[in-house]
Amino acid sequence: MTDMQIVNDYLADLALTEHPLDADFLAQLQSRHVAKHTFNSVSAVLKHPLPLDIEHLFNKLIQKQFGGYCFEHNKLIFHVLKNLGFEVKLLLAKVVYNRDVEVPRTHRATLVTYQGTQYLLDVGFGPQGAIFPVKLVLDVPQQQGHMTYRISQNKAQEYCFDVLKNGEYFTLYTFDLNHYSEADCELSHFYSHKHPNAAFVNNLVVSKKTLDETHSLRNGEYHHSTASHTDITEIDNIEQLHQLLTGVFSLNIDEAISAYLFSKFAKPAQQS
């Protein structure tokens, strides 16, 4: 497939073919993508090869609807936006979860500049990620449904992507505007899905979200969150996990795979 065939088929998948290429287009692209295409670690925990060439990503994420994680989702988005003529910059971030720690840059996102305004566009951060692009303006709350985000700066003058939790801002990840290349991503991607201590190697995570609700699964628990409440369900058996993966998350997985995932991730969680 050519680059533009991939772009056009991707836009058709999200019903955005006729939409003007403006700020609302960016918002619709992000919100429709995270609502339809799951963030998940399934390929990583199954030790599948995870090449990052665009044709493979399009086949896996869009044609097979199998989802993936940040280095997959956000590379495809970067490719689409660049080929549509948007000004884009590759970002590599440190996932800190509100800690003052030194960690590697294991998260990919995209900075988009449109008509002089910069946006953080990220379709690969799972249940806590934004639904719409977040403007790169400091200390301004940006409400999206029942969640509120902001961009701040820490003592090291790094940008912080924050979410409001229980009345206080919680830093999800930090980033800067230095130059990073696809080669840098390959290294971080390799660590994230191959290193024995990497989170995506050791945990089954799956999520998708809309403005009104978030569905997320982590090992032996399934969470369904709305503005007013979060229901937490313990995953007790293979059939239940299989129904969640194939029903709620629309993953094309046979029951033998679900049985393996249950024995490795959900059953140990029950026993701990």
Place of tokens 């960690």: 103
pLDDT in tens, 151-196: 999 999 999 999 999 999 999 999 999 999 999 999 999 999 999 9
Q: Which residues contact 264 (CB under 8 A, 6 or more apart)?
A: 45, 204
Determine the pLDDT at residue 182. 97
Largest CA distance in the chain: 54
Q: In angstroms, rounded to a whole number, what is the distance separating the alpha carbons of residues 107 and 24?
A: 25
In DSSP terms, 170 is beta-bridged to 163
pLDDT, tens only, 117-155? 999 999 999 999 999 999 999 999 999 999 999 999 999
Token code pair at residue 183: 């080669």
**Predicted pLDDT of residue 93:** 98
pLDDT of 212 strictly over 70: yes
Report whether 124 contacts 69 (CB < 8 A).
yes
Across the range 82-92, mean pLDDT stands at 98
d(CA 15, CA 215): 22
Phi, psi of 102 (to 5 degrees): -95, 115
Cα 4 to Cα 217: distance, rounded to the nearest angstrom: 34
Distance CA 174, CA 154 (A): 9
Work out the end-to-end distance of the chain between its first and last CA atoms, rounded to an integer number of angstroms: 48
What number of CA atoms fall less than 13 Å from residue 254's CA on the CB side?
1
* Torsion from C-alpha of 176, 157, 148, 22, nearest 10 degrees: -40
- The token pair at 256 is 């033998």
Q: CA 132 to CA 24: how far, in whole Å?
A: 9
Q: What percent of the chain has a predicted confidence (pLDDT) above 90?
A: 96
C-beta of residue 172 within 8 angstroms of C-beta of residue 157 = no
Report the pLDDT value the prediction gives residue 267, as an integer from 0 to 100: 79
> What is the pLDDT confidence band of residue 271, given thresholds at 50, 70 and 90?
low
Whole-structure pTM value: 0.96
Domain limits, the chain: 3-183, 213-271
Phi-psi bin for 14: left (phi > 0), alpha (psi -120 to 50), beta?
alpha
In whole angstroms, give the CA distance from residue 69 to residue 250. Answer: 16
185/167 Cα distance (integer angstroms):
34
Q: What is the pLDDT of residues 2-36, one digit of tens each?
A: 999 999 999 999 999 999 999 999 999 999 999 99
Strand partners, 108: 92
Q: What single-letter DSSP state applies at residue 220?
A: T
Mapping DSSP to helix (H, G, I), strand (E, B) and coil, where does residue 41 land? coil
Tell the CATH topology of 3-183. Answer: Arylamine N-acetyltransferase fold (3.30.2140)
CA distance 236 to 244: 12
Q: What was the pLDDT predicted at 268?
A: 67
- pLDDT mean over 50-57: 97
Q: 107-118: per-residue pLDDT in tens?
A: 999 999 999 999
Per-residue pLDDT reduced to its tens digit, 216-263: 999 999 999 998 999 999 999 999 999 999 999 999 999 999 999 999
Q: Residue 85 corresponds to which tokens in the numbers above? A: 């003529």
Q: Round the average pLDDT of the chain to a whole number and report it.
A: 96
253 with 65: CB under 8 angstroms? no
